[in-house]
Amino acid sequence: MTLFAASRVGGRYEHTEFPPTQDILQKRSQKGADQIWEGRPKWRSTELHQAARAGHIHLDVTTLDINGAYLAALKTWLPIGRLTHSQDAAHDPKRAGVHRITPPHWTLTDLPSPLGARQEPGPLWITEPTLRLLLRCARQGLCEMPVIHESWTSGASEGLLEKMRRALADARKTAIETGDDLTLEYIKAMYSKFVSTIGESTANREIRRPDWMHIIRSQAFANLWMKAHRAHTAGLTVVEMSGTDELHIAGEWQSVFAQGRELSQVKPKYTYTLGKDEA
């Protein structure tokens, strides 16, 4: 939080640290969850795995690790002040928050839904990155437009955490170049703890923004989906996608993604053959 506070000195906007928390953002119990769906993915291609079990295909698959997923996700549209309610069906790109929508039906079988692993039908509360991703998919003809029923939003900025993100990214790059693995792990712990404690956490008494926490997490999931879509558009086969940083790809992935440890690069974790010894 000290780094965050220092990064906000001289900032264009003054954010609100303890805005009122709407019911939808309050945990239902001490260990329970609130009503916000972050869009966490846990997807694998059913068609490919069925074909593999039937012995129809053999695919060489590489599991890619996305570097600094939460660090990259700090660049996202965040609400600056307290959230206000609206029942406007149109999305205002200058505002950010959480939205109750009826999601479009996802019919593609070779790409995961931007909603992640959700199985329950009907309206749900989602975050700004998920809504923007759904709108983008609709404009590209991948699905219908989501129906917005109501929103809790504030005027927004994509740069609220940018100075902090850049400072951490620069320190991370230096640690990699000098082989300082201890500092590298410390930096990872810093931004991971920031994300996990800016909601309702006894470990952080300096800010309470559960909306920010959900939005940053959702941005990490949206970023992963965009990488899957990029691979798919380039003609690669998306086999599996999960969490914030794991993408299983069949094909010449090096033609799409650069290999390395920088934030713009990916690391291959392991390879396997889909269709080999399938039960």
Q: Residue 24's domain spans which residues?
A: 2-274
pLDDT averaged per 10 residues, the chain (length 279) = 55 68 84 90 96 93 97 97 95 97 96 93 96 98 98 96 95 96 95 88 74 97 98 98 97 97 95 78
Please, what is the Cα angle at 19 between 14 and 20, to 5 degrees? 165
Does any domain span residue 261? yes
**DSSP label at residue 254:** G
pLDDT of residue 122: 93
Which stretches within the chain are classed as H helix? 2-7, 46-53, 69-73, 128-139, 162-177, 181-197, 210-233
- Residue 68: C-alpha distances to residues 93, 246, 265 (Å): 26, 12, 10
Task: Answer for the pair 40, 223: CB distance below 8 angstroms, yes or no.
Answer: no
Does any domain span residue 279? no
pLDDT of residue 33: 86
Does any domain span residue 15? yes
3-state secondary structure (DSSP) of residue 236:
coil
Does any domain span residue 89? yes
- Judging by beta carbons within 10 Å of its beta carbon (0-12, 13-18, 19+), is residue 144 exposed, middle or buried? middle
pLDDT of residue 3: 63
Q: What is the pTM of this model?
A: 0.92
Does any domain span residue 224? yes
- Judging by beta carbons within 10 Å of its beta carbon (0-12, 13-18, 19+), is residue 279 exposed, middle or buried? exposed
pLDDT of residue 279: 45
The number of domains in the chain is: 1
Does any domain span residue 129? yes
- Residue 69: C-alpha distances to residues 81, 132, 158, 222 (Å): 26, 18, 17, 10
